[in-house]
Amino acid sequence: MDSTVHAARILMGDSLGFHIIFVLMGLTLPILVSWFELTGIVRKDQRFINVAKFWSKIMALLVITGVVSGTIIALQMSLVWPGILKFGGEVIGLPFMFETYAFLIEATFLALYLRTWGKVKPMVHWLFSLMIIVGSTLSAYAITSVNAWMNYPSGFDYISGKIENVNVWAAMFSRTSIVEFVHSMPGYYLSAALIIAGMYAFRIARSAYTKRTSKNHEMDWFIIKRLMLFAGVMFILSGITADITGKYLAKYEAVKLAAIELNYTTRNNAPLTVGGVGREDGTIVGPHFEIPGALSLLAGNSTDAAVEGLNVTPKDQRPPLFVHTLFDVKMTLVNILMVLIPGYFVVYAARRKWLQTRPVLYLIGISGFIGIAIVELGWMLTEIGRQPWAVRGFVTTEEAFTKSDSVTVYGYAFPIAYVLLFFATFYAIKRLVAAEKSKKGGTLS
């Protein structure tokens, strides 16, 4: 692959990796804000409403940042990868249009939500938050359906080198779109909830041990407990949808699964390989072990199920085998969360005083970063696992790449834009938190 194309792939990967952080926060905060506001209304407890009001300010800021970040991604798609839209614009144009309409719903009700605190009946105000959730979720689905279409193109007939008989609804609501959406959303919710819980845990950890259970931190502890409960539910849902995704990949994106699991040959009783590094000659080097029949069981609900191997796909159409290492890292992080999240509730029930110690608070704190890493690795597996295709089976990454001589300029402009956006966002959130603390005498709840 040409070095310029490779650099552009890295640029796009960095951009998406940065953007997804705003996405997952922007999708989760509306749910949490709505939840806490409703709790405050039902319990007639102003503290919950205060938390919702504070979070809504950060939510608005991250929505703005997400729009800017998403616009940069859109520019990259059109300027750096025009071949994708040139080939499939007729099919994926509608989801992009729907994403705009969904954003208008989100933005309209976000503005209403922010401007009507204390000016309308509490339940009416809360209903505005539901519409923010609807808008953001529809927006996420529309964009996810575009990525799903790139992974498994559908909704058209390909006749004599041209797209004919376009059915945009079939493409937008394909099996791939639904599977990808229902698996990604719980992951977003999980990681965002852990990040917010972690911020409160770090805040408590900065206080002296004797002050960590004071009235100043009473609401902080309650927020952490609620967010860890939310994260636990999302972790379970992620596991369920991961199983669905694995079975989907085995049937519809078999080469991606084969590369991820280093399954070189089509076979029954296919093992699950943990560790090791795959080579193109079909060998696995380095420390690793195999669980006999486990891949067949996961893919087909039976150890006797046949699982397609890499041997079915020509070598020049196979994904890079380092996706297996990425998957191993991801699953290691998943297993860490599998211990940390239930571990929190075990400690809460049996040794609650341990929660006040810095090591435990720091573990809660880092869990959010682990969650984000899992989301990032998941998207890396999705994108790298599709290579060498930009649109699987139709447009290679090299064919999708721009022929413009100005591409070098983009390589400098887009990273600079993201660095500036990051620091501007960090500064704005810091100012928001400082203003809230000064208003409430040093507390956030």
Q: Is 119 helix (H, G, I), strand (E, B) or coil?
A: coil
Helices (H) then strands (E): counts for the chain: 13, 6
Q: Is 44 helix (H, G, I), strand (E, B) or coil?
A: coil
The span from the CA of 50 to the CA of 444, in Å, is 9
What pLDDT band is residue 410 in, cutting at 50, 70 and 90? Answer: low
**3 vs 11, more confident:** 11
Q: What is the pLDDT of residue 32?
A: 96
Q: How many CB atoms lie within 10 A of CB 431?
A: 11
Burial class of residue 369, CB neighbours in 10 A (0-12, 13-18, 19+) = middle
Token pair listed for 361: 């608070």
Comparing 38-42, 97-101, 126-130, 181-185, the range with the smallest average pLDDT is: 97-101
Q: Are 367 and 197 in contact (CB under 8 A)?
A: yes
The span from the CA of 436 to the CA of 130, in Å, is 25
Q: What is the pLDDT of residue 2?
A: 65
Q: Any residues with CB less than 8 A from the CB of 148 and at least 6 apart, and which?
A: 174, 176, 177, 179, 180, 181
Q: What is the pLDDT of residue 116?
A: 93
Average pLDDT of 180-184?
96
Q: What is the pLDDT of residue 233?
A: 96
Q: Are 17 and 379 in contact (CB under 8 A)?
A: yes
Token pair listed for 401: 């790449």
Give the tens place of pLDDT for each residue, 276-333. 998 988 888 889 899 999 999 999 888 889 999 999 999 999 999 999 999 999 999 9
Give the tens place of pLDDT for each residue, 125-176. 999 999 999 999 999 999 999 999 999 999 999 988 889 999 999 999 999 9
**pTM, full prediction:** 0.92
